[in-house]
Each structure stands twice: as C-alpha cells, then as structure tokens.
Amino acid sequence: MATTSERHPVERLLAIMARLRDPESGCPWDRRQTFESLIPHTLEEAYEVADAIERGDYDDLCDELGDLLLQVVFYARIAEERGLFDFHQVVERLCDKLERRHPHVFAGVRFASEEERKRAWEAVKQAERRAKGRDEAETGVLDDVPVTLPALLQAEEIQNRAARQGFDWVEAAPVFAKVEEELQELREAWASGDEAHICEEVGDLLFVAVNLARHLGVHPETALRQSNRKFARRFRYMERRLAASGRKMTDVPLGDLDALWEEAKEGREA
C-alpha cells in the first residue's frame, strides 16, 4: 500500500483532509468546521491570491493558490461526509461545464464573430439554468447574482448582465455625463442635509463610477485596490518623515501635511 507521500498529489491532499476530519484522531479545529464557518476563510484566501498577483510575488502566489485549493477540498470533504457529493464529482462537473461552454474548442463549432460566441455562451448558461429547474419565465437575469459579493464586484456583474440584454450605453461619453449628473445630485442632497438622501446619492455615484470603469475597460475592484495601495504608500511616507523629526501627525498643521503629501506624490515615498 502506498504511503501518503507516495500518492498522486491530489489524492495525497484528499487523504490528508480526510485524516484532519477524522472524528476520533483528526484536528479539533478542522472537525468543527462547516460550510458556513469556512466562508470568511475562503474569501480571505481569494483576496490573498489577488494580493500576491498584484505584488508580483509568484512564489507567494504558489502558496496562496494552495490555500485556496484547500478551501475547495474542505468543502468537498464536508459534502462527502453528508452524502451530498465528493471532490471527484466537483472536478467532473467542472470538466463537463468547461467542455460544454467551449464548443469552439472541444466540439469543432465555428463562430462567425465574437458576438455570436457570446450569444452561444449565454444560450448554454440558460440551458444550464433550465436543467437546474429554474423557469426562465420566472427567473430574471439578475436573480442569481450572489448577494454576498463585495459591492463593487456585484455592481459590475449586475451591469454586465444588463449590458448583455442590450441595456447599456454604446460608448463612454454619455457615462461621463451621467457621472457629472450624479455628482450634482449628491451636492444637492448634501445641501439638503437629508442623510438618507445623501446615502442614496453616494450609492448612485459609486454605481455609475463602476459603469464608467466598465466602458473604459478597467476592472473597478482592481483599480480601487491600486489606489488604496498608492494612498497607503504615500501616507506611510508622511509617517516616516514626521517620525524622523519627532512629530506626531495629529499635532502638525494641515498645510504641512499637504506639503508632505506633495513630496510623496513626486515619488519620494519609494
């Protein structure tokens, strides 16, 4: 009988997870986990993958992809214990779906245009929904957008689906105008002092900003993450400069902070 280390890596991983979940000799923490308790860990691991990619740390990316794969194996093991499905069924369904959704690669189908390929993709997805018992007459295209997605990603997915139904601007110029319109409405709400109205208009402005990003070919989540890192880098530069002079940021006039910020913008924070 092959030892754990002699098995195929995937089979070895599945065996390790089974051992961790063993009711008698497994790890207490691993045994306690459920579908629901793993959700925050899965989201965290997905973001750590994104972070490694954005930092260009590909050695770390290898580790983080392993951590993300562990989440899939963990869910599959819990499902197997409940008699729902197992890891191999997850893989088989994924393989079937990839082949089904790419007939131009696996079935010799030829599409005359990218638009035709997209229509075929949507037709396959609609067929998949029908196969799951979802009545097209009762199910809207937005009904299965995950409500737990981060708001920026959810807005982008909603807009992409609406666009595939023809409800979208054909170019970016009118979206710029819509951003300006929403900004003016936010100014008016702010002047009114109505907090609920202000919140609503802030949401509308963010939603249309996502739409503008789409039309400019920019992924809004990625763009915002880059801006967050840029702000943090410049802010840390200010902290270092102030610490070197024995000052605290809270005691420094705003004008001096602005001057330090400009230094950071000139690239001195590197």
Average of pLDDT values for 163-169? 91
Q: pLDDT per residue over 100-145, tens digit each?
A: 999 999 999 999 998 888 888 888 887 887 787 765 556 688 888 8
Q: How far apart, in whole angstroms, are the C-alpha atoms of residue 172 and residue 45? A: 34
Q: What does pTM read for this prediction?
A: 0.68
Q: Does position 96 have pLDDT exceeding 90, yes or no?
A: yes
Alpha carbon distances (Å) from 69 to 33, 41, 65 = 16, 12, 6
- DSSP assignment of 197-233: HHHHHHHHHHHHHHHHHHHTT--HHHHHHHHHHHHHH
Q: Does position 202 have pLDDT exceeding 70, yes or no?
A: yes
12's tokens = 């070895």
Do 249 and 242 meet the contact criterion of CB atoms below 8 Å apart? yes
Q: What percent of the chain has a predicted confidence (pLDDT) above 70?
A: 94
> Which letter does DSSP use for residue 5 in this model?
G
